[in-house]
Amino acid sequence: MELHFFTGKQAGFEQAAAIRQAVFVEEQGFHNEFDEIDETCLHCLITDDAQPVATCRAFEKPGESGCWIIGRVAVSLNYRGQHQGEAVMKAMLSELVKRGVQEAELSAQCRAAGFYEKLGFTATGETHMDEYCPHVTMVKKL
C-alpha cells in the first residue's frame, strides 16, 4: 500500500475521485459530491499498486485558524473490512498535526459516527441533513 498527499486536482485526484464517485454517488445516491473545495484542499489517497483503495480530503475551516475540516472519507468496495478507512484517517490526522493544526472537525453520516468515535472524535451537536442523509458534526483536538 502506498500513501499519497496532493493539493487540488494534481496527480492522484482522478483516482480519489473514482473512489468517491463509486461510493457516494453510485452506492449511496449523493448528487453534490464534487465541489470547488476539491480545487484547493489537501487530499490523501491510499493505493495498492495502481488500484485506488481509500481517500479523504481536508481544508482549513473558514474563519477558524487552527481548525481543519476532514471529509469525503471513502474506501473502495474491494478493500472494505481491511482497516483502510482507519489508515487513511490516521494518515490525514498525522499530516494535520505536522502542519500545526490544533483541531479536526468532520460531518459524519450518523451510521458512521461510531467509526469516528474510535478515532477520538466526539459529537458536538444535533443531527443535520446532507442531501437525504442524517449527519452529525464531530471534533477532535490534535
- Give tens-digit pLDDT for 38-68: 999 999 999 999 899 999 999 999 998 899 9
Which position has the higher pLDDT, 131 or 121? 121
C-alpha grid cell, residue 59: 481544508
3-state helix, strand, coil in the chain (%, to 5): 30, 40, 25
Local confidence band at 11 (pLDDT 50, 70, 90 cut-offs): confident
Local confidence band at 126 (pLDDT 50, 70, 90 cut-offs): confident
What's at 61, amino acid-wise?
K
Strand residues in 76-121 grouped as ranges (E): 103-109
pTM summary value: 0.95
The two most distant CA atoms of the chain are separated, in Å, by: 41
